[in-house]
Chains A and B, each alone.
Chain A
Amino acid sequence: MTKAALLSLLLFSCAPVAVQAQTSSQQTPARGATTAAAAAKTPTPGEFPPYKRPHTPDGKPDFNGIWQSFVTADIDIQDHDAQAGPHPDIMGAYGAWPGGQGIVEGGEIPYKPEALAKKKANAEKRMVVNITSDDRRHDTGDPELKCYRPGLPRANYLPFPFQIIQGKDNIMMVYEFEHTLRTIFMKENDKEAPKDPPADSWMGWSHGHFEGDTLVIDTTGFVPYTWFDRAGDFHSDALHVVERYTLVSPYHIMYEATIEDPNVYTRPWKVSFPLYRRMEKNAQLVDFDCVEFVEKMLYGPYYKNPGK
């Protein structure tokens, strides 16, 4: 055996050990590198890598935070093109409405034929405002235009943030838009929160529970006046909304709502979109009490000098 051959044999026999030693010493950084590689992968919309959800001290998924959606469903919950807003002569791009894809599963709202006609009439009269001191004031005009509480699920896709304050027995949802408020009763057999709505309201009567880590909220007891969007999509007082909130990342809630109203639709239908956590270091709700911005529009006809 030549010196060279011996050397190579030695090298060969040593090689696996050396490699192993090298691997073992690099194991931690190598694993780190793999994680970094995964994180560096461009996120795929709609896909959320598994993560460990935070829980409150009493073991419930923790939804506390300020949240906001980034869909254009407030304009139209179905697919829609960009369009000029009211008075483009003075409002220009300030008043124009963006286009966007809808949030309705399957694309279509299963309206009964007569209900579809009403939706179209609503859209045509979305800016016809006639305020009386009785319920006729609700006959025409988009409730958003009049700064009314937005109802469900519209409150969750208005272009305004809302904050979840999660108590043990009650979860509060406080919306920046017109300081709209929802109480979600979480306690079973709560004597202060009867199962059936004692009265109709704009935001409905909500009971919640957890299914695994998903917050499920069942809401009924709605007034028939709220709309889903500026396109006139509507419901009756038989509206029943079941919402599902699931934390899917440190920064996202996947939101789903099933909408049922036998007076208006032929079957239940569903909307879904993500909610984003507001991450500004100083994030907080401020006031958008639009009441003061709509008084002239609502009550102008009763002013001493109308139109001035």
Chain B
Amino acid sequence: MGNRFGVSSKTLMIAAAVLLLPTFVPAQTKTSVTAKAETKAASAKSTEKKTWALPRTPDGQPDLQGYWTSLSFTPMERPAKYGNREFLTDEEAAEIHKEGIQHSYEFTFNDLAETPVYDATVYALSAWQEGVAPNKRTSLVVDPPDGKIPPLTPEAAKVKDAARRHGPNQDYADPNAPVKADVAEDLNLGERCLSFGGPPILPGAYNSNFFIVQGAGYVMVEYEWNNETRIIPLDGHPALSQGIHRWHGDSRGHWEGNTLVVETSNFRPGATFQGANPKTLKITEYFTRTDQNTIEYKFTIDDPSTWTKPWSAIVPLSHMDGPIFEYACSENNNDAVNILAGARATERTAAEKAKNISQK
């Protein structure tokens, strides 16, 4: 997809196979990147000590405006080694943060394509460039208390299993799985520049950046991915009927104290979080600004036809430097052309091979 960087995760995976870089570059910058991460952590600490007043918009609402990133090194579900521990020690958190920064840094330099559409070392793509604050939680999932997403309902498990076995072109876990690309509809929604998902806001591999602007009676949340934008009315706007479905659902918000609470429904079939049921899925999000550089973002997923009980996660949103650029995706969607053309080329090669064999 012709995004800000002109590549998709698929392209990145291909690019990952092409290692080429003067070794002096990582060696040179290794020190500075670690130093940068440490400075960031230290400055976050010193900010905490100062008295901080919640900023407000001219009309008195808590001010959530600005550029934020949801990038995180914290796993969605709690790794077994932590048992029932909800929080890391300061030392563990610092170590994980340092490793995460280093890993993302090495990823950037190791995964450069031979003819890059963009220079990943310059354009902020990875966590080491975007500014991620250390997180003391052992998992993003906070409820249930074991830090694990509750089991699927038997019906949802059946559907998911069928999708896994028959769903073409979605299984990135198996690089040898054949890519079905007969028509554009065989590609995934991201490759088609139709949707990169959300809500909820989650940490992705990169580009997990957001811009929040508040106007009278509305909060706008822009996702960097495809400039997908949610306009959240706060004015008691009537809910949409079930006759209208939206790529990112339809949201209504209100303030509970200093927390913005947003409820979302009216999802589009085929475009729901983790394949949830668009008819029964309800997502509630809680945005609370906890300091100058942090929004505590919590979401609750409630879909009784998909999960056996509701569950919640907390994803810290860290302040990042703006701006967020235009993300013209479909306008330059080279992925769609290349994946389809590639599939046709593969078919031609296979047909020629078959012909040669039959002629022998």
What per-residue 1/0 map shows which CB atoms of A273-308 lie under 8 Å from chain B? Answer: 000000001101111010110011011001111000
A152 to chain B, nearest CB (A): 12
Chain B positions within 8 Å of A225 at CB level: 331
Question: Across the interface, do A291 and B330 meet the contact criterion of CB distance under 8 Å?
Answer: yes
What per-residue 1/0 map shows which CB atoms of B49-63 lie under 8 Å from chain A? Answer: 000000001111000
- In the docked arrangement, what's the CA distance between A165 and B323, Å? 17
- Stretch of A41-49, A172-180, A261-269 with 4 or more beta carbons under 8 angstroms from chain B: A172-180
In the complex, B231 has a CB within 8 A of chain A:
yes
A59 to chain B, nearest CB (A): 9
Most chain A beta-carbon contacts within 10 A, residue among B65, B214, B218, B220: B218
Partner of A163, one of B214, B231, B347: B231
Given A174-B231, A296-B184, are A168 and B58 neighbors across the interface (CB < 8 Å)? yes
In the complex, A244 has a CB within 8 A of chain B:
no
Given A167-B214, A168-B57, are A282 and B337 neighbors across the interface (CB < 8 Å)? no
Chain B positions within 8 Å of A289 at CB level: 194-195, 247
- In the docked arrangement, what's the CA distance between A193 and B323, Å? 6
Question: Across the interface, do A57 and B59 meet the contact criterion of CB distance under 8 Å?
Answer: yes
Question: Across the interface, do B218 and A286 meet the contact criterion of CB distance under 8 Å?
Answer: no
In the complex, A201 has a CB within 8 A of chain B:
yes
- In the docked arrangement, what's the CA distance between A267 and B316, Å? 52
Question: Across the interface, do B58 and A56 meet the contact criterion of CB distance under 8 Å?
Answer: yes
- In the complex formed, the residue of B with least CB distance to A292 is B194
In the complex, B18 has a CB within 8 A of chain A:
no
Most chain A beta-carbon contacts within 10 A, residue among B60, B211, B213, B220: B213
Chain B positions within 8 Å of A292 at CB level: 192, 194
In the complex, B338 has a CB within 8 A of chain A:
yes
Question: Across the interface, do A132 and B57 meet the contact criterion of CB distance under 8 Å?
Answer: no
Chain A positions within 8 Å of B182 at CB level: 303-305
Question: Across the interface, do A291 and B323 meet the contact criterion of CB distance under 8 Å?
Answer: no
Question: Across the interface, do A284 and B237 meet the contact criterion of CB distance under 8 Å?
Answer: yes
Interface residues on B, range: 35 or more
- In the docked arrangement, what's the CA distance between A304 and B195, Å? 24
In the complex, A214 has a CB within 8 A of chain B:
no
In the complex, B114 has a CB within 8 A of chain A:
no
In the complex, A149 has a CB within 8 A of chain B:
yes
- In the docked arrangement, what's the CA distance between A133 and B335, Å? 8
Question: Across the interface, do B337 and A172 meet the contact criterion of CB distance under 8 Å?
Answer: no
Chain B positions within 8 Å of A148 at CB level: 328, 330-331
Question: Across the interface, do A167 and B337 meet the contact criterion of CB distance under 8 Å?
Answer: no
In the complex, A169 has a CB within 8 A of chain B:
yes
Residues from 73 to 98 in A contacting B, C-beta threshold 8 Å:
none
Most chain B beta-carbon contacts within 10 A, residue among A56, A62, A170, A198: A170
- Stretch of B139-147, B222-230, B282-290, B297-305 with 4 or more beta carbons under 8 angstroms from chain A: B222-230
Chain A positions within 8 Å of B227 at CB level: 179-181
- In the complex formed, the residue of B with least CB distance to A143 is B331
Chain B positions within 8 Å of A137 at CB level: 332
Question: Across the interface, do B337 and A133 meet the contact criterion of CB distance under 8 Å?
Answer: yes
Partner of B213, one of A131, A143, A165: A165
In the complex, A129 has a CB within 8 A of chain B:
no
Residues from 176 to 206 in A contacting B, C-beta threshold 8 Å:
178-181, 183, 185, 192-193, 198-199, 201-203
In the complex, B217 has a CB within 8 A of chain A:
yes
Question: Across the interface, do B330 and A285 meet the contact criterion of CB distance under 8 Å?
Answer: no
Interface residues on A, range: 35 or more
- In the docked arrangement, what's the CA distance between A202 and B347, Å? 36
A171 to chain B, nearest CB (A): 8
Chain A positions within 8 Å of B58 at CB level: 56-58, 168
Partner of B233, one of A171, A199, A284: A284
- In the docked arrangement, what's the CA distance between A164 and B231, Å? 10
- In the docked arrangement, what's the CA distance between A181 and B340, Å? 29
- In the docked arrangement, what's the CA distance between A192 and B237, Å? 33
Chain A positions within 8 Å of B116 at CB level: none
Chain B positions within 8 Å of A305 at CB level: 182
Chain B positions within 8 Å of A203 at CB level: 326
- In the complex formed, the residue of A with least CB distance to B227 is A181
Chain A positions within 8 Å of B76 at CB level: none
- In the complex formed, the residue of B with least CB distance to A59 is B58
Chain A positions within 8 Å of B246 at CB level: 286-287
A53 to chain B, nearest CB (A): 14
- In the docked arrangement, what's the CA distance between A203 and B325, Å? 11
In the complex, A64 has a CB within 8 A of chain B:
yes
In the complex, A258 has a CB within 8 A of chain B:
no
In the complex, A104 has a CB within 8 A of chain B:
no
In the complex, A147 has a CB within 8 A of chain B:
yes
B353 to chain A, nearest CB (A): 18
Given A181-B227, A284-B233, are A167 and B192 neighbors across the interface (CB < 8 Å)? no
Question: Across the interface, do B331 and A167 meet the contact criterion of CB distance under 8 Å?
Answer: no
Chain A positions within 8 Å of B321 at CB level: 192
Question: Across the interface, do A131 and B220 meet the contact criterion of CB distance under 8 Å?
Answer: no
- In the docked arrangement, what's the CA distance between A57 and B330, Å? 39
Chain A positions within 8 Å of B25 at CB level: none
Residues from 229 to 244 in B contacting A, C-beta threshold 8 Å:
229, 231, 233, 237-238, 240, 244
| A interface residues, Cβ below 8 angstroms from B | 56-58, 62, 64, 131-134, 137, 143, 147-149, 163-172, 174, 178-181, 183, 185, 192-193, 198-199, 201-203, 225, 281-282, 284-287, 289, 291-292, 295-296, 298-299, 302-305
Q: A165-B218, A304-B344 are known contacts; what are 11 more A-B pairs with Cβ within 8 Å?
A: A137-B332, A163-B218, A165-B231, A167-B65, A178-B330, A183-B324, A192-B322, A203-B326, A284-B240, A287-B246, A296-B184
Question: Could you list some 16 contacts between A and B, CB below 8 A?
Answer: A56-B58, A57-B59, A148-B331, A167-B65, A168-B65, A170-B213, A181-B222, A181-B227, A286-B244, A286-B246, A287-B246, A295-B192, A299-B336, A303-B183, A304-B182, A304-B183
| B interface residues, Cβ below 8 angstroms from A | 57-60, 65, 67, 182-185, 192-195, 211, 213-218, 220, 222, 226-229, 231, 233, 237-238, 240, 244, 246-247, 321-326, 328, 330-332, 334, 336-338, 340-341, 343-344, 347
Leading 4 A-B pairs by shortest Cβ distance: A302-B340, A192-B322, A165-B215, A295-B184
